[in-house]
Amino acid sequence: MMGPALREFMKDDIEASEAKGREEGREEGAKAMISMCKSLERGRLDTTEIIMNEMSYSQAEAEKLVSKYW
């Protein structure tokens, strides 16, 4: 366990790492949802809309993810 002084010194690095981890987890969730939509024979446009509505991605972000994982 790190002491308070070290934690304060590394605060920005820790916060950046936590944010990166959350974003990676969110993308993994989107990847799984895209795979499920594909398995259920939903179209790319429907899948993009689902990603936008269910995961609060912008249209551009959702389109990029669907293109990446389709």
User: 5-56, pLDDT tens digit by residue?
Assistant: 777 778 888 888 999 999 999 999 999 999 999 999 999 999 999 999 999 9
Report the distance separating Cα 2 and Cα 42, nearest Å: 48
Is the model's pLDDT at 1 over the cut of 80?
A: no
Q: Which two tokens stand for residue 4?
A: 């308070």
Q: How far apart are CA 50 and CA 37, in angstroms?
A: 9
The tally of CA atoms less than 13 A away on the side-chain side of residue 55 is 26
Amino acid of residue 26? R
> CA 32, CA 70: separation in Å to the nearest integer?
11
